[in-house]
């Protein structure tokens, strides 16, 4: 998506989200970008929305990539999301979670 800069698609509205989910008692976190609502992105799943930030697709994608790069060593691949956004999932501690929430609010 780095080719979004200066494109019509890159200028389209998007939403960055940071959520928590669980599977078999394991809590994990996901950061992502959607053109829709978070609940539409995960129909039928129980999610806890921790932070969102509207912007252009290019802006929110850039923020998402910064978060992914900073926390790459804490990646977690939940079986139920394999192939559907699982590369943006993490096992995080409380400090990481608060840092990401603050970053999304100030980016």
Q: Each residue of 55-66: pLDDT tens digit?
A: 999 999 999 999
Structure tokens that stand for 71 in this block: 């926390």
The runs of H, that is alpha helices, within 3-46 are 38-41
Whole-model pTM: value is 0.87
Digit-coded pLDDT (tens) for 77-98: 887 766 666 678 999 999 999 9
**Distance between CA atoms of 76 and 21, rounded to whole angstroms?**
12
3-state secondary structure of 85: coil
């Amino acid at each position: 998506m780095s080719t979004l800069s200066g494109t019509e698609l890159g200028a389209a509205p998007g939403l960055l989200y940071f959520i928590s989910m669980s599977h078999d008692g394991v809590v994990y976190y996901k950061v992502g970008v959607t053109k829709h609502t978070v609940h539409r992105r995960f129909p039928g799943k129980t999610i806890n929305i921790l932070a969102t930030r509207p912007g252009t697709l290019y802006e929110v994608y850039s923020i998402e990539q910064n978060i992914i790069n900073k926390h790459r060593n804490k990646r977690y691949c939940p079986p139920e999301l394999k192939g559907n956004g699982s590369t943006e999932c993490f096992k995080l501690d409380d400090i990481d979670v608060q840092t990401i929430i603050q970053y999304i609010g100030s980016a």
